[in-house]
Structure 1
Amino acid sequence: MNSYPKTSALMRRGADFLGSDTAILCGAMSWVSERNLVAAISNGGGFGVIACGAMTPELLDTEIAATNALTDKPFGVNLITMHPDLFDLIAVCARHKVSHVVLAGGLPPKGSIEAIKDTGAKVICFAPTLALGKKLLRSGADALVIEGSEAGGHIGPVSTSVLAQEILPELGRDNLVFVAGGIGNGAMIAAYLEMGAAGVQLGTRFACATESIAHPEFKKAFFRASARNAVASVQLDPRLPVIPVRALENEGTAEFTAKQREVALLLDQGSINMEEAQLRIERFWAGALRRAVIEGDVKSGSLMAGQSVGMVTKEEPAAEIIATLMAECEAALTSRTA
């Protein structure tokens, strides 16, 4: 890789923690963050993360093995905290000596952080608030990701810029905090590094990498989109807590509204409990995302994308994306010093 002295100095803590050349993580995107993209990002100097999503332990076992065959660089695995087989998935990661496990989708259940750390792996958790970030660190998390509402996929209610202002001054100096959501170029990376971030996480930019298996029609939808096209889903029934999802607006947006009505009715009837209701919502998104990513159904499939999608204009190899981001970050830091 080229030399980026100012950027590398600010990223050193994060890169050392990840074991990668740069402190640039790829956000875990179901159906997208699989062996090919994950390996390409890690080989390119970043840190790839497998999106386990709704995979069974057997499928995750196969995916990790296949990724190991494509790279000898470190990579992580993202596990959803509400997955019914979470502890079995942790065991799969342990068998493969996965170096980092990312817990996403809610508060880690009791014993999950300890189970991961007992394997020797590092634990990364998402912190949507300062108070929760402090609690997760006390519970044993080795690093945090603060992800704002500009991100694609499941999002929280607060913007990245506000989260960074709240959390980095409090936790950034003595802890490893990665910033995510709405990051589209290296100048933005420079700003967060200067505020005390250990590194950054990007998803939308990598979804259209050359190595991404996403369908050509899926990628074309990204190239055509602007920031305003990436909208957050609306919670239809306050009795059914649904984490908003940001995606490009299409017919699938209306289908999700209908799905919420269906699940809420079953919940009211007592046919299902709250946990099953939430799982059905997650399965809806998994299926809709697969139709878009794998089958190219950009009309009714889910085109999960962050608001930085307007800055994604072409297909590029993952290594080139990382090199461009590093060069842009270095240029921004240099201009400020000058």
Structure 2
Amino acid sequence: MTAYPKTSALMARGAQFFGSEHAILCGAMSWVSERNLVSAISNAGGFGVIACGAMTPELLDKEIAATKTLTTKPFGVNLITMHPQLFDLIEVCGRHQVGHVVLAGGIPPKGSVEAIKTHGAKVICFAPTLALGKKLLRSGADALVIEGMEAGGHIGPVSTSVLAQEILPTLAADHLVFVAGGIGRGEAIAGYLEMGAAGVQLGTRFACATESIAHPAFKQAFFRASARDAIASVQVDDRLPVIPVRALKNKGTQAFTTKQIEVAKLLDDDKVAMMEAQLQIEHYWAGALRRAVIDGDVENGSLMAGQSVGMVTKEEPVAEIMAALMRECEAALDTRKALAVA
């Protein structure tokens, strides 16, 4: 007998898909979503996802193996579509029998979805528009994540609420669609579940959990921040298609503008190809994020955070965060039912 009957009923499809107790997955945050946080989320009933980011196949192999020593529950792996060794990373996931692979950062390259499915895994893709969502499903995606611009890290141009209104009524009845971006409390989860979402994805809410290896200075920056402190980066050159990144404003966000100018000049001088230019940008973020998360350099590093950061006020164990989200969601559903009866 579940303690959250209404929430569990609405999450049933998503929970069954993941093999988890709750259909709450953790967004893959580079340097943060590693073995400790991922296993804690899965152990707490959610679905943890390893952020592969710029890892080599050898590093991913070790990370998956280490995560397996900390949990017997299902977890997934997030792979960046532009990674030069994407297919090697898919093979690593296959060898470990990872059940779910999330493809992020762009349209999956030809053959990648099929390669993942060859190993029996489910494929989850990000859909920034209804049209692309339909295309991804036709191409073999088993589930979609629709993530609004309120999220931390790489973001699209449309808000979560608008994406949900555009996509859920059309796709949610027949497909698994998870909503992400700016979700920090259970009341919001209740709303999206009632709209037809199979579950939700949260990142910022878990970034400062007790089990997160993020540096204490990184966590303190989150605790001090408000929603308006999490700003999106700007694109300085139209020829350089840079996906905006939302992070807490500091010297690092200003330095990114300088980095874009530097890379654009390399393009002007024909010193790099477009793919290499984009990879340089990605490597910049990976390095800047590491400086903040691991080294605690909160001035010059990247403090990637969603606008829900204002709801992150203290360090808490993952299990307590998960329980609070479920309680809040259930209470909201109870209130709505009571009002409907009245």
Structure 2, unpaired ranges of 5+ = none
Computed over aligned residues only, the root mean square deviation of the Cα atoms, in angstroms, reads 0.7
Alpha-carbon shift at residue 47 of structure 1 (Å): 0.2
Post-superposition CA distance 1:279-329 (Å, at most 9, x none): 000000000000000000000100000000000001111111111000000
CA distance in 2, matches of 1:229, 1:254: 14
2:241 counterpart residue number: 241
Q: Which string of whole-angstrom CA distances, capped at 9 and with x for unpartnered residues, describes residues 143-182 of structure 1?
A: 0000000000000000000000000000001000000000
- Which residue number corresponds to residue 171 of structure 2? 171
Q: Which residue of 2 aligns with 1:262?
A: 262
Whole-Å Cα distance in 1 between the matches of residues 2 and 42 of structure 2? 16
SS in 1 for 2:69: helix
- Give the residue type in structure 1 aligned to 2:136: L
Quote the offset at 1:253 in angstroms: 1.1
Q: 2:337 aligns to what?
A: 337
Give the match's secondary structure for 1:303.
coil
Find the aligned partners of 2:2 and 2:65 in 1 and give their Cα distance.
Answer: 30
Structure 2 residue matching 1:200: 3-state secondary structure:
strand
**Matched AA of 2:278:** Q
Structure 1: distance between partners of 2:126 and 2:337: 32
Correspondence list, 1:147-158, <5 A: 147-158=147-158
Secondary structure of 1:70's counterpart equals coil
Report the CA distance between 1:254 and its aligned residue: 1.2
Gap regions ≥5 residues in structure 1? none
TM-score, normalised with respect to structure 1: 0.99
Following superposition of structure 1 onto structure 2, how do residues 224-239 of structure 1 map, counting pairs within 5 Å? 224-239=224-239
Aligned counterparts of 1:214 and 1:300: Cα–Cα separation in 2: 16
Alignment deviations for residues 83-130 of structure 1 (CA, whole Å, 9 cap, x no partner): 000000000000000000000000000000000011000000000000
SS class of match (1:102): strand
Code of the aligned partner of 1:172: A
- The answer to whether 1:193 aligns with 2:193 is yes
Report the counterpart of residue 41 of structure 2 in structure 1: 41
State how far apart, in whole Å, the 2-side matches of 1:159 and 1:114 are.
Answer: 31
Q: Secondary structure at the match of 1:308?
A: helix
Q: Please state whether the residue corresponding to 1:316 is helix, strand or coil.
A: coil
Q: How does 1:209-228 map to 2 (within 5 A)?
A: 209-228=209-228
2:297 maps to what in 1?
297
Deviating beyond 6 angstroms after TM superposition, the runs of 4 or more aligned structure 1 residues are: none
What whole-Å deviation, never above 9, does each CA across 1:169-222 have from its counterpart, x for those lacking one? 000010000000000100000000000000000000000000000000000000
C-alpha distance in structure 1 between counterparts of 2:24 and 2:320, whole Å: 13
The letter for the 1-side match of 2:115 is A
Deviation at 1:2, TM superposition (A): 5.7
**Percent of matched pairs sharing the same residue:** 81
SS at match of 1:237: coil
